[in-house]
Chain A
């Protein structure tokens, strides 16, 4: 058999191929040749063949038949063979194939080879693609090499150890002794990889973290030497000595200083030094500054340092380099929760970034803008954000629209503004809004009683302009159905009333029914709207005709509705006015307890559907607050949903409460449910015996307690039990202030013993107003799987009359029901 062609020849030949088909043909021919060569067990040319195979693999062709050949190459004595063999192993093999385990013995031998480059190859392969079994077998060898004095091997062993720990975290302790004097190395490669190893260990184990805290002074010293040292050609990057090592040390310092005051204090100086002395003209300096800022924000730094950090970010925002602006926006997003006011100062720059041409920057700026919206700047911000929504790419529209809705809901200065804003979103980006915005908007409109005339008029005008945006059309037709009488009578205080006749309105609605642009859902809305107008308008005959036409519609949904409406005209005509009367105010409820999306059918009987609105995507505080609204005053827990009488079915965003069926005989109760002694407890207990119900009902009786009462600050805990997990206790703290001065910068922190898990959600505000004028609430969720007695240590920090106050307290007087 002639010698197989050389790699270079093959590459040259393949590159001359002019079409994909030609290339494929050449490759198939060569693969056949390689296969037969492999079959002949030819040692001399195996290396060459595998190299060619790897090239073809990179072009995208299958090369799995070369896997065993790679193993043979690794086992060979020649360095060239081993080199290609290990490369092939890393490219062709992965831990999901059992073949890779055959490598283990070869790697073990090579780890003990006399030539350091062979040892290096073995370490590299193990460190890149070693599976957990391989790592377990070879961890001892790696640990041995971690202690060698050969820096070439030591640095590779360190990163290999990192990989082993990632794969098999239990082996972490094995490497602990070897880390003793890693940081006293002079070699930068070893130093760098050691810092990576220490970082990995500290991130994975809190014990290791506390153990390595003592290294902080040493790390600070190394960093200082790097900054102060003179020019070193081999490590220099644009005048900065070894930026990679500097950044890694900063990152490790961040982890070590995170919740520890002493460590944070030890690093304050060096952080300030790095922050002020680093050259910012080149990217490398900014990389180090960026990491420094992240570290300052994350540890317990003093406020002067924090201000310095935010200022650096502010400077980044104004930088010409897009990368730096992007990085600044990302970091500000991380810090906006904790240092909200500081970030607010840069609001105008951030809003300007919305107009940047770069997609990545626009996205970050949008996210950050939404995070910065508050009650004070809502009008201005919303103007900018709506302008952004008009002109942005489609990929942003959905997120932006959701964000606008959320912000508007939280901070709307007036109902009219809220409705105007939502209308603006619907008219400009109507096709990108989420499905649940339609019911949310409907609820909002229903609740703003005084705006009904204005709203229906504006919606009608919008409908005349454009019927292609389905959410807008749906909301409009619903409103016209409800408030058509206001529209026709022309009574609108807010705006110039328009003159509309009943026929014109019906024309529009019928137009929706026949238009090709309308989806079936929209048609359903408009048919129902037409039906509702039968009690509000006088031209009933026309409506009767429309309804009877659709009694034979091909669309099953429309047909069913029409048939039932027809029945309402004929047999149930006496009930029609009651069924179609105005909707009452709806209570906002978030979904709790068992819920399901169910296709609504066209029933309109009064005792029928318990419907609920799906919760909007809210931030955790909102959800927690909704939870409170439901559970707070309500004795029976979240199972009782507000029931709504005759809501004409509008399919799409409706949820059906599974337990709603139970209230059928109980009759609809009008909202709000939280008042009055509910007769339901007995009723529900008779009904289902679901475990959940019992838990919920028993949760109701947990008394609240005073956790802390000192110096005028009183903190009360109220309890609920979160469903569906009965092990989670939801505690709400209410902080009130009886002194005559506000308590500002109020921060509440809590810690629980190891057997518990704690989640602290965002507080309602960080100012406790004086003289009990208001309270700060915050939700804590405690997971208590072992049902042990709940204990908690709390730490309070606040500013009072100009001085900072800090206090620690233990809370032990939890009522037994909260943890049993």
Chain B
């Protein structure tokens, strides 16, 4: 199972953090610090896998953002790269040509999409279509209950 998923940019600003195990604030800060240091410092054409303590770290860079996952040693690294790619595809479909700014201003949507795709550190849904349908339906639900009629809600 995955232990955490982090999104950060080259200046080490965190854009999304999902923790799949209960850990202390100190541990979270340490992980974030170590991951940003290790990943941002990697040269351009290196291997996407690292070892950190007893976890395998898989990271992939998309434009200005690094997507970084920490997972257990039995998990398949190559497949995790596909998982990250699928998540980016979902974000892209939802936001239309997603960029870092979309994720900054709509961070809660990024979390909602993530929660339809992954849960408890495992892949929840493998169909691209079903995830999109779920998000759209939930958004509709949100708006009919909401006074405000246009996206975004806030």
A-B interaction: yes
A residues within 8 Å of B by Cβ?
6-8, 11, 15, 47-48, 51-52, 54-55, 58-60, 78-80, 83-84, 87, 91, 94-96, 115, 117, 120, 123-124, 127-129, 131, 152, 155-156, 159-160, 162-163, 188-189, 192-193, 196, 233-235, 237, 242-245, 247-248, 251, 283-284, 286-287, 290-291, 322-327, 357-361, 363
Asked if residues A79 and B141 are in contact (CB atoms below 8 Å), the reply is: yes
Asked if residues A8 and B82 are in contact (CB atoms below 8 Å), the reply is: no
Complexed CA–CA distance, A248 and B123 (Å)? 10
Complexed CA–CA distance, A123 and B50 (Å)? 32
Q: Is B48 an interface residue (CB 8 A)?
A: yes
Asked if residues B142 and A79 are in contact (CB atoms below 8 Å), the reply is: yes
Asked if residues B119 and A127 are in contact (CB atoms below 8 Å), the reply is: yes
Contacts of B49 in A (CB 8 A): 323, 326-327, 360
Contacting A11 at CB < 8 Å: which of B47, B104, B138? B104
Contacts of B24 in A (CB 8 A): 96
Contacts of A245 in B (CB 8 A): 126
Q: Can you list, as one digit per residue, whether each of B81-123 has a CB less than 8 Å from chain A (1) or not (0)?
A: 1110010000000000000000011011001100100011011
Contacts of A117 in B (CB 8 A): 134, 137-138, 141
Contacting B76 at CB < 8 Å: which of A192, A287, A358? A287
Please indicate which of the listed interface residues B47, B49, B141 has the most CB atoms of chain A within 10 Å of its own CB.
Answer: B47
- For B57, give the chain A residue with the smallest CB separation: A360
Asked if residues B77 and A323 are in contact (CB atoms below 8 Å), the reply is: yes
Complexed CA–CA distance, A247 and B152 (Å)? 38
Q: Is B63 an interface residue (CB 8 A)?
A: no
Q: How far is the CB of A213 from chain B (nearest CB, A)?
A: 20
Q: Which of B137-152 contact A (CB under 8 A)?
A: 137-138, 141-142, 145-146, 152
Extra A-B contacts (11), CB below 8 Å, given A7-B154, A58-B16, A159-B119: A60-B14, A79-B141, A80-B146, A94-B23, A127-B119, A243-B79, A244-B126, A323-B49, A326-B47, A357-B43, A358-B46
If A322-B46, A327-B78, A360-B50 touch, whether A48 touches B154 (CB-CB below 8 Å) is yes
Q: Is B153 an interface residue (CB 8 A)?
A: yes
B residues within 8 Å of A by Cβ?
14-17, 20, 22-24, 43, 45-51, 74, 76-79, 81-83, 86, 104-105, 107-108, 111-112, 115, 119-120, 122-130, 134, 137-138, 141-142, 145-146, 152-154
Complexed CA–CA distance, A48 and B154 (Å)? 6
- For B77, give the chain A residue with the smallest CB separation: A327
- For A45, give the chain B residue with the smallest CB separation: B154
Asked if residues A55 and B122 are in contact (CB atoms below 8 Å), the reply is: no
If A6-B154, A94-B22, A283-B78 touch, whether A192 touches B123 (CB-CB below 8 Å) is yes
Contacting A127 at CB < 8 Å: which of B22, B120, B125, B134? B120
If A129-B22, A234-B130, A359-B46 touch, whether A58 touches B17 (CB-CB below 8 Å) is yes
Complexed CA–CA distance, A152 and B107 (Å)? 24
Asked if residues A358 and B47 are in contact (CB atoms below 8 Å), the reply is: yes
If A11-B105, A188-B127, A244-B123 touch, whether A360 touches B47 (CB-CB below 8 Å) is yes
If A7-B152, A159-B119 touch, whether A80 touches B128 (CB-CB below 8 Å) is no
- For A286, give the chain B residue with the smallest CB separation: B78
Asked if residues B79 and A291 are in contact (CB atoms below 8 Å), the reply is: yes
Contacts of B83 in A (CB 8 A): 244
Top 10 closest pairs, chain A to chain B, by CB: A287-B78, A7-B154, A322-B47, A189-B125, A234-B129, A287-B79, A234-B127, A163-B120, A159-B119, A127-B120
For this complex, 17 residue pairs linking A to B, each with C-beta atoms less than 8 Å apart, are: A7-B154, A11-B105, A54-B108, A79-B142, A79-B145, A83-B142, A84-B108, A188-B125, A192-B123, A243-B79, A244-B79, A244-B83, A248-B123, A251-B76, A323-B77, A327-B77, A358-B47
Contacts of A152 in B (CB 8 A): 130, 134
Contacts of A188 in B (CB 8 A): 125-127
Q: How far is the CB of A589 from chain B (nearest CB, A)?
A: 33
Asked if residues A159 and B46 are in contact (CB atoms below 8 Å), the reply is: no
Contacts of B112 in A (CB 8 A): 83, 87
Asked if residues A323 and B81 are in contact (CB atoms below 8 Å), the reply is: yes
- For A164, give the chain B residue with the smallest CB separation: B120
- For A326, give the chain B residue with the smallest CB separation: B47
Contacts of B23 in A (CB 8 A): 94
Q: How far is the CB of B22 from chain A (nearest CB, A)?
A: 5
Contacting A283 at CB < 8 Å: which of B16, B81, B107, B122? B81
Q: How far is the CB of B55 from chain A (nearest CB, A)?
A: 14
Complexed CA–CA distance, A311 and B76 (Å)? 19
Asked if residues B20 and A128 are in contact (CB atoms below 8 Å), the reply is: yes
Contacting A155 at CB < 8 Å: which of B111, B125, B146? B125
Asked if residues B22 and A80 are in contact (CB atoms below 8 Å), the reply is: no
Q: How far is the CB of B140 from chain A (nearest CB, A)?
A: 10
If A51-B108, A80-B142, A80-B145 touch, whether A189 touches B126 (CB-CB below 8 Å) is yes
Complexed CA–CA distance, A818 and B75 (Å)? 41
Contacts of B46 in A (CB 8 A): 322, 357-360
Q: How far is the CB of A134 from chain B (nearest CB, A)?
A: 12
Contacts of B129 in A (CB 8 A): 233-234
Complexed CA–CA distance, A494 and B126 (Å)? 69
Complexed CA–CA distance, A608 and B154 (Å)? 81
If A188-B127, A235-B127 touch, whether A284 touches B82 (CB-CB below 8 Å) is yes
Contacting A156 at CB < 8 Å: which of B20, B78, B119? B119
Asked if residues B120 and A243 are in contact (CB atoms below 8 Å), the reply is: no
Please indicate which of the listed interface residues A6, A124, A363 has the most CB atoms of chain B within 10 Å of its own CB.
Answer: A124
Asked if residues B79 and A124 are in contact (CB atoms below 8 Å), the reply is: no
Complexed CA–CA distance, A79 and B112 (Å)? 13
Contacts of A59 in B (CB 8 A): 14
Contacts of A8 in B (CB 8 A): 105, 152, 154
Contacts of A47 in B (CB 8 A): 153-154
Complexed CA–CA distance, A500 and B108 (Å)? 78
Q: How far is the CB of B69 from chain A (nearest CB, A)?
A: 14
Please indicate which of the listed interface residues B15, B45, B125 has the most CB atoms of chain A within 10 Å of its own CB.
Answer: B125
Asked if residues A322 and B108 are in contact (CB atoms below 8 Å), the reply is: no
Complexed CA–CA distance, A363 and B52 (Å)? 13
Q: How far is the CB of A104 from chain B (nearest CB, A)?
A: 16
Asked if residues A115 and B126 are in contact (CB atoms below 8 Å), the reply is: no
- For B82, give the chain A residue with the smallest CB separation: A284
- For B25, give the chain A residue with the smallest CB separation: A94
- For A117, give the chain B residue with the smallest CB separation: B138
- For A84, give the chain B residue with the smallest CB separation: B108
Complexed CA–CA distance, A628 and B77 (Å)? 41
Contacts of B115 in A (CB 8 A): 124, 128
Contacts of A287 in B (CB 8 A): 76, 78-79, 81-82
If A188-B127, A189-B127, A360-B46 touch, whether A128 touches B119 (CB-CB below 8 Å) is yes
Complexed CA–CA distance, A287 and B127 (Å)? 18
Complexed CA–CA distance, A334 and B152 (Å)? 51
Asked if residues B120 and A160 are in contact (CB atoms below 8 Å), the reply is: yes
Contacts of B17 in A (CB 8 A): 58, 91
Q: How far is the CB of B85 from chain A (nearest CB, A)?
A: 8
Asked if residues A87 and B82 are in contact (CB atoms below 8 Å), the reply is: no
Q: How far is the CB of A48 from chain B (nearest CB, A)?
A: 5
Complexed CA–CA distance, A156 and B130 (Å)? 13
Please indicate which of the listed interface residues B15, B49, B120, B152 has the most CB atoms of chain A within 10 Å of its own CB.
Answer: B120
Contacts of A96 in B (CB 8 A): 22, 24
Please indicate which of the listed interface residues B23, B46, B74 has the most CB atoms of chain A within 10 Å of its own CB.
Answer: B46
Asked if residues B79 and A87 are in contact (CB atoms below 8 Å), the reply is: no
Complexed CA–CA distance, A117 and B50 (Å)? 37
Complexed CA–CA distance, A244 and B85 (Å)? 12
Contacts of B127 in A (CB 8 A): 188-189, 234-235
Contacts of A79 in B (CB 8 A): 138, 141-142, 145
Complexed CA–CA distance, A59 and B14 (Å)? 7
Asked if residues A193 and B141 are in contact (CB atoms below 8 Å), the reply is: no
Asked if residues B105 and A322 are in contact (CB atoms below 8 Å), the reply is: no
Contacts of B142 in A (CB 8 A): 79-80, 83
- For B147, give the chain A residue with the smallest CB separation: A44
Q: How far is the CB of A149 from chain B (nearest CB, A)?
A: 16
Q: How far is the CB of A90 from chain B (nearest CB, A)?
A: 8
Complexed CA–CA distance, A251 and B72 (Å)? 14
Asked if residues A155 and B78 are in contact (CB atoms below 8 Å), the reply is: no
